[in-house]
Structure 1
Amino acid sequence: MVDKALAQRDLAEIFENLEREQKTDASYLIQWIKDSNLVGNSREEDIQLKIMFKKAKSSRRVRLEEFKAIIMKLAKEKSRTFEELTRQLTEEGPGLMRAATEGISAFRDALRRN
Structure 2
Amino acid sequence: MSQHRPTSDSKRALDGSPEPHIEDDVPEEEVPMPPNYLLLTIFSCFCPAYPINIVGFVFSIMSLYSFNQGDIEGSKRLGRNAKWVAIASIIIGLVIIVVSCVVNFTMER
Higher relative contact order (CA 8 A, sep 6+): 1
The answer to whether the superposition gives a TM-score over 0.5 is no
- Structure number with the higher helix fraction is 1
TM-score range, shorter chain: 0.3 to 0.5
TM-score by length of 1: 0.40
After TM superposition, the score normalised by the length of structure 2 is 0.41
Bigger radius of gyration, 1 or 2? 2
